[in-house]
Structure 1
């Protein structure tokens, strides 16, 4: 008995309506396994690989290189077992006849981010999924909740998952009082209060990892576990030249050399990513907020918060890209935690290796 699977254009985040096929990574007739990267797709936010959710033989590559297709459009046919060409043709014909570009697959964005007034300033957060064991996603320096673009939906399939814009970032208020870890961590804890969440799992990337660690230090009874991705707070080294270059960059030519350091594949930094980041950096209050945070947390191009001892006090998962150019993966050594160092990945490992990171987080949380 055979199964004929349709691989379709994914929807990564609220704003995605279409994607451009960049490069096919697998050939027709090639055997592929669940989780294999089949092709690269570029959106207006970032380029990423489409991974197959099933195993089989790649029988047909429907989408053409450089073709732009709506979310939900047919990319390829994968067959498990034996199926005739006529059967494959029939599936393709039926799919194409029934598919409506820009229809439900593209338009159903589900809930939208919310904004509240918290501690005298605006805080934006995105609340998805349901469950009694929520997870909070905390982005890094200069980022926002969209840094979890490829993770949020997958992680929210079986639990409530909340991503926020930290103060000074995204669409949250830009005014900081002290710009230290306590201020940022207290914001996370105050959000839990606002949402009537007694305790939660925390996942933090880069600076967000230090925020999560510090929240666990301040209120250990409110943190169920820690997932730390390329986390600050676990060693003194950090790429100070990157931080200063990012803060100072005022145009695309200055910003691009900084952002490419975040990824193992420089091609992931596209024009739209640069435009979006420049637009953010030009908002009133952003420059002052970033400079204050950098001074408080990373003065002299060094980290000044040692939170390694907190890891042993909570169930912890530590994920790092082996090629991280911002915070060295060596900081993961010797931690009392489940440590996963992903070969060939950079600082934004949760975006570059999203499927693998999602599987690691889901597996870890299932054990808690």
Structure 2
């Protein structure tokens, strides 16, 4: 579908396709030098186009893969009662199809849960993982609120539900300088497949504890990045995850909200690029050590 999000200048889309029910795009740097791959996984109600600001920045140095999560965009529906490993398996199958052995995996919101699940299940294929605005071990009040929203879903959100979502994500009232981004996100929410949205949101609503007790086994470098003004994916959650994962750190972007990848792309991209450079260097050093060991 058409979107107001579009990479501006650096990104050259070298491939767009569909494999095993997954719609994806590949962007490569303008140089022909070999480079590592970064995979971007969007959140509930979005599609791959929402990553345009990151595609533009990351594709200067990395091969970037963005795809539509199950039930979103042009990808197939998930099963009637999906689990996180079904979404992780979607990514694994995509990497197989496009012949990517290892990748840095970046996810936002629901996509962050998928990214972490993939990294836990597929450490040898994961160079690093970034969880943007991830949920973790919600409070009882937070859990009740999200479960109530999930229970009310009969499909895609109605206009009133979209407006409530935008208020949570952008603020109420929405600041004038964020109006264009909010309108683009609103269009994606209104266009999402109703069945895919409902199935995925219900999974998202009950998955905040999916990685409780498991992050100590996260074997790869990890960045937990969220916004100061995102109460449902709070800085406290990101710090709690980073405290458990052995090779992790947390960062909180001041005054940023849930959709910070589109509202604060410069600061998000700076954090991503710094972390990915560190993770790449660590991988290169480990690989050199293995060869000379």
> Aligning the two structures, in what range does the TM-score lie when normalised by the shorter sequence?
0.7 to 0.9
Q: Take 1:364 and 1:272, find their aligned partners in 2: how far apart are those partners?
A: 28
Whether 1:164 aligns to 2:35 is no
Moved more, 196-205 or 265-274: 265-274
Equivalent residues in 2 for 1:121-132, closer than 5 Å = 121=21, 123-130=22-29, 131-132=34-35
1:117 is matched with 19
2:202 is matched with 295
Whether 1:329 aligns to 2:235 is yes
Aligned CA distance change for structure 1 residues 177 and 252 (closer, same or farther; 3 Å) = closer
TM-score by length of structure 1 reads 0.62
Matched residue SS, 1:157: coil
Aligned CA distance change for structure 1 residues 345 and 154 (closer, same or farther; 3 Å) = same
CA displacement 1:256-299 (0-9 Å, x = unmatched): 1222211247243555543442122xxxxx32333333334424
Aligned CA distance change for structure 1 residues 352 and 166 (closer, same or farther; 3 Å) = same
Q: Take 2:250 and 2:271, find their aligned partners in 1: how far apart are those partners?
A: 10
> 1:215 deviation in Å?
0.6
* Greater relative CO, 1 or 2 (CA 8 Å, sep 6+): 2
> 1:150 deviation in Å?
1.3
> 1:156 deviation in Å?
0.8
8 A Cα contact 1:168 1:290, kept in partner: yes
> 1:211 deviation in Å?
0.5
Aligned CA distance change for structure 1 residues 271 and 206 (closer, same or farther; 3 Å) = closer
Q: Take 1:160 and 1:173, find their aligned partners in 2: how far apart are those partners?
A: 24
Equivalent position to 1:356, from 267, 279, 282: 267
> 1:317 deviation in Å?
1.2
Q: Take 1:193 and 1:248, find their aligned partners in 2: how far apart are those partners?
A: 32
Aligned CA distance change for structure 1 residues 261 and 247 (closer, same or farther; 3 Å) = farther
Q: Take 2:158 and 2:202, find their aligned partners in 1: how far apart are those partners?
A: 23
8 A Cα contact 1:180 1:297, kept in partner: no
Q: Take 1:169 and 1:116, find their aligned partners in 2: how far apart are those partners?
A: 13
Whether 1:235 aligns to 2:137 is yes
Equivalent position to 1:135, from 30, 38, 43: 38
Q: Take 1:158 and 1:323, find their aligned partners in 2: how far apart are those partners?
A: 30
**Number of positions where the alignment pairs a residue of Structure 1 with one of Structure 2:** 259
> 1:358 deviation in Å?
0.5
> 1:333 deviation in Å?
2.0
Q: Take 1:177 and 1:246, find their aligned partners in 2: how far apart are those partners?
A: 14
Aligned CA distance change for structure 1 residues 247 and 311 (closer, same or farther; 3 Å) = farther
Considering only aligned residues, what root-mean-square deviation do their CA atoms show, in Å? 3.0
Q: Take 1:339 and 1:309, find their aligned partners in 2: how far apart are those partners?
A: 14
Matched residue SS, 1:367: helix
Identify the structure with the greater helix proportion: 2
2:167 is matched with 260
1:314 is matched with 220
> 1:328 deviation in Å?
2.3
Matched residue SS, 2:13: coil
Aligned CA distance change for structure 1 residues 348 and 245 (closer, same or farther; 3 Å) = farther
Q: Which runs of 5+ in 2 are unaligned?
A: 280-293
8 A Cα contact 2:58 2:64, kept in partner: yes
Whether 1:185 aligns to 2:88 is yes
CA displacement 1:13-56 (0-9 Å, x = unmatched): x968xxxxxxxxxxxxxxxxxxxxxxxxxxx569xxxxxxxxxx
Q: Take 1:256 and 1:194, find their aligned partners in 2: how far apart are those partners?
A: 38
Aligned CA distance change for structure 1 residues 278 and 252 (closer, same or farther; 3 Å) = same
